[in-house]
A and B are shown apart, each in its own frame.
Chain A
């Protein structure tokens, strides 16, 4: 019970932080920064405690459930499960780093900036912990607004263009998702007579295959834009390049995972038959994202763009792992989400640090930094290796497990003797090689060769920056060397996800949405139906 309250505390701390900032006078910028950092640190501490308390044998825990709009069956329902546990922890972990990383970079409207960071943190955590579709949608949409401000106010030269593009892309997906949400809930109401938005109830909706496909497309479009999956990725480089460092870290670290999390928690399990039908398409798109993203990263001259495109490539692995529907691939996808969150956040922070010193992101302007900024260069090298997926780093664990899953994937279409999965997986391996190519060539040009930098002499990173980067690197290696611990906590969720997607819920008769609820249908008796958990 106490832990359920703590989860609410974690969720509302950012709002409390915003309120606290209102009380601090705008002139005292240092106080604004310290208050923000303190709130974020407290939030991380509580989240870490919740992670520690998380019981791997139980499903949904630390649950709060309060009727919110009783007439519609909307509940305020939040909780932690294996799906969101690591992502909540990741969000809370990146929070203090985002705040600390902006201490020197943000000099304009400081108070508004940290308020926006708090609001986006609140919305992201809310979307992760929500166990009710209405609540999820609310947070999902709401997170767009602070991001719009962060890019639009503190961004680079083309910030207005980038931020409008970001919002218009994401909002388009959301609108179709909203239509699908309403339709889904009414299907549940029409077939079972229950008005409910709870995930657990919606997992029982039976729909004919064509309807499932349409709804998956509507949900999927929204999620695929966020991930992003090629060809819906074009907002990402603009948003990343124009965003301030903190914005890029939030985007790459957490916001993109919102898309893959959406697929894992909602898109695939809600429409299992459509997912199985479309698995080849989705896996192909995933591999296209891996390779296309890597190829684009290879030819960029803007450092931020290299990392932005590498994100597309790395999130392709997550999608491939999820859609492999193999336990090992799913678990790999979860690890890869966290790993990419850490590594991309670290790389964007590194770019931000050099940008603060030299005011350019052009790769050609740099060279031989290893000689002048040794400590900085060590971190660049370490995080580059993590991005490539060198063993003992988190990137290796994620990509390796995903590829294992993809190789053993048993999609029904391929049991007819098609060598398709092999081709897909082999292409994904090519993506790994390309990844090594662009990251190493970046590191080589950036760190080695003749010393070259626009604003010499360069000072090496200071204590604050060292702490930020060191904490990231430690976690990256911890996740690479001891992946078993987080995997143990998410295994149940991965199994549940696999069960949900592999159990057909196709309905042959088109449910009559209009009119009175049909005959009460017994809930599907599969092991996948979510266990009901009482708050501890």
Chain B
């Protein structure tokens, strides 16, 4: 029965969809906020479980031929994204607009899942937009303060630009090749035709905008700072992973050669340099992470220089490692009197004295983001640069590594606040909520094995 297979192949999406309907029902019924949280958690965990099951069995099915297909690696990518969303939900308890938050989150995740299975530009476009639209609202949702509105608007306008660029690129591609299949992009990469080249540039730029690669990064610091912590965590780890998985889907089996190399190498390189430099000057934790995420978007796009065969593995491992360590940092961020105080780096001073566990967790996250072994950030970075060098781009690899060195300083500066500065005045004390603690342990349980037994994960990606 074909439609059973279709339902089965789309099981993670279907579970999310069912969840969204239930959550909307709860919203209409003005049910208890905790029930929304519980529903959201159950939906995410079961969707993630199903996706993992599909991935482990290597289930492959062309649900809508030419538009939507599922295979082992697609399901694995979905499982990764859904698993990363679990800690985000766990720490969302303090957010005011509980139910709406969960609806929008699930909708955005549905978009990512769609994006990861896309075979045609139509599905890809649907996925990208469904992923982004709820996030504009999520940024705004947090505090309803003027800065949030400004940041959300900025994000919306730049996101709209990305959409327009993508559509323009796709039309050009269609004009040249007469095809809307993603494979056409791979052909266009090799083509010497001007129109095809312009199309490639526009499509890649659209992805750069979504992933915040310099010089298309300006929305990120504002949006990250204006959003509530769970939303920032969601943008920094999951949206980024989704966009990159989408790009892997887009590039497919095509190797990057010829003049496109510069497009795929220079802007990410610039992104690493600028992200790391600008992060040094930040006093807001979220802005710092925003610039760090700009740098990390650079590393991630470096993966596209490598051989197409190893690309999914590199991006998947990086997404898991990077997502986990970002989430670890965000979930460990101690609660303060108000959000602005919580966000100030200086207010982390002497955190070790009053909350050693959280301080150690943030330190681990920072060291991992800096790519210092034995934390997973190192293996992730190693995997990407290994592939780049194996593809023969030695110079780009060396430059990228040197640029990554510049990042070490500001991560260490955060640790310096945590451990080596006198204690800052605190407005709110007390141990974190059990759910937050659960999120911390969940992230830690991922970070440690990722760092110590990377081989186990790599072999399964």
Given contacts A160-B420, A171-B408, A175-B401, contact A186 B455 (CB under 8 A): no
A155-210 residues at the B interface, CB under 8 angstroms: 159-160, 163-164, 167-168, 171-172, 175-176, 178-179, 182-183, 186
Complex Cα–Cα for A160 and B419 (A): 11
* Selected contact of A513 from candidates B374, B394, B458, CB within 8 Å: B394
A sample of 9 cross-chain residue pairs with beta-carbon separation below 8 angstroms, ordered by A number, consists of A152-B419, A172-B405, A175-B401, A175-B404, A175-B405, A176-B402, A178-B385, A182-B385, A513-B392
Residue pair A153, B401 in contact (C-beta under 8 Å) = no
A5 at the B interface (CB under 8 A) = no
Task: Give B contacts to A, CB under 8 Å.
Answer: 352, 356, 367, 372-374, 378, 382, 385-386, 389-392, 394, 397-398, 401-402, 404-405, 408-409, 412, 415-416, 419-420, 454-455, 458-459
Q: Does the CB pair B419–A71 fall under 8 Å?
A: no
Contact present for B409 and A168 (CB under 8 Å) = yes
Chain B hits for A71, CB < 8 A: 455, 458-459
Do B398 and A179 have beta carbons less than 8 Å apart? yes
Measured in the bound complex, the distance between the Cα atoms of B404 and A179 in whole Å is 12
B45 to chain A, nearest CB (A): 29
The reply to whether B382 and A175 contact each other, CB–CB distance below 8 Å, is: no
Considering residues B373, B402, B404, which has the most beta carbons from chain A within 10 angstroms of its beta carbon? B373
B390 contacts which of A145, A164, A178, A513 (Cβ < 8 Å)?
Answer: A513
Interface: A375 (CB within 8 A): no
A145 touches B401 (CB 8 A): no
- B374 in contact with A164 (CB, 8 Å): no
Q: How far is the CB of B209 from chain A (nearest CB, A)?
A: 29
- Which residue in A153, A168, A172 is a CB contact (below 8 Å) of B419? A153
Query: Number of residues in A with C-beta < 8 Å to the partner?
Result: 36
Chain A residues with CB under 8 A of B367: 145
A351 at the B interface (CB under 8 A): no
User: Do the beta carbons of A68 and B455 come within 8 Å of each other?
Assistant: yes
For A129-145 the 0/1 string (1 means CB < 8 A from B) is: 00000000110011011
Binary contact track A236-264/B, C-beta < 8 Å → 1, others 0: 00000000000000000000000000000
Contacts of A167 in B (CB 8 A): 408, 412
A514 within 8 A of B: yes
Residue of A nearest to B381 (CB): A178
- How near does chain A come to B414, taking the closest CB pair, in angstroms? 12
A74 an interface residue at 8 Å Cβ cutoff?
yes
Q: Is the CB of A142 within 8 A of B373?
A: yes
Q: Determine how close the nearest CB of chain B comes to the CB of A127; give it in whole angstroms.
A: 11
Determine which of B378, B392, B458 lies in contact with A141 in the assembled complex, contact meaning CB atoms within 8 Å: B378
Verify B373–A137 contact, CB threshold 8 A. yes
For B412, what are the chain A residues with a Cβ–Cβ distance below 8 Å?
148, 164, 167
Query: Which residues of chain A are within 8 angstroms of B394 by Cβ–Cβ distance?
Result: 179, 183, 513
A residues lining the B interface (CB < 8 Å)? 67-72, 74, 109, 112, 137-138, 141-142, 144-145, 148-149, 152-153, 159-160, 163-164, 167-168, 171-172, 175-176, 178-179, 182-183, 186, 513-514
Contact B373 A176 (CB under 8 A): no
Q: Which residues of B contact A513 (CB under 8 A)?
A: 389-390, 392, 394
The reply to whether B401 and A142 contact each other, CB–CB distance below 8 Å, is no
Query: Which residues from chain B contact A70 at a C-beta distance below 8 Å?
Result: 455, 459
B409–A164 touching, CB < 8 Å: yes
Contacts of B404 in A (CB 8 A): 175
State in angstroms the CA–CA spacing of A178 and B372 once bound together.
12
B372 touches A183 (CB 8 A): no
Q: Which residues of B contact A175 (CB under 8 A)?
A: 401-402, 404-405
CB neighbours of A171 from chain B (8 A)? 372, 405, 408
Contacts A164-B409, A168-B409 hold; do A186 and B390 have CB atoms under 8 A apart?
Answer: yes
Q: Are B374 and A138 in contact (CB under 8 A)?
A: yes
Return the 6 tightest CB-CB contacts between A and B, nearest first: A69-B455, A514-B392, A138-B373, A175-B405, A152-B420, A179-B398
Q: Cβ of A514 and Cβ of B419 under 8 Å apart?
A: no
The complex places the Cα of A109 from the Cα of B409 at a distance, in Å, of 24
Query: B401–A178 contact, CB under 8 A?
Result: yes
Q: How far is the CA of A283 from the CA of B390 in the complex (A)?
A: 35
Q: Which of A138, A168, A179, A514 contacts B397 (CB 8 A)?
A: A179
B458 x A69 contact (CB < 8 A): yes
Using A74-B455, A160-B420, A186-B390 as known contacts, say yes or no to A145 and B397 having CB atoms under 8 A apart: no
Which residue on chain B has the smallest CB distance to residue A178? B401
Least CB distance, B274 to chain A, in whole angstroms? 18
How near does chain B come to A142, taking the closest CB pair, in angstroms?
5
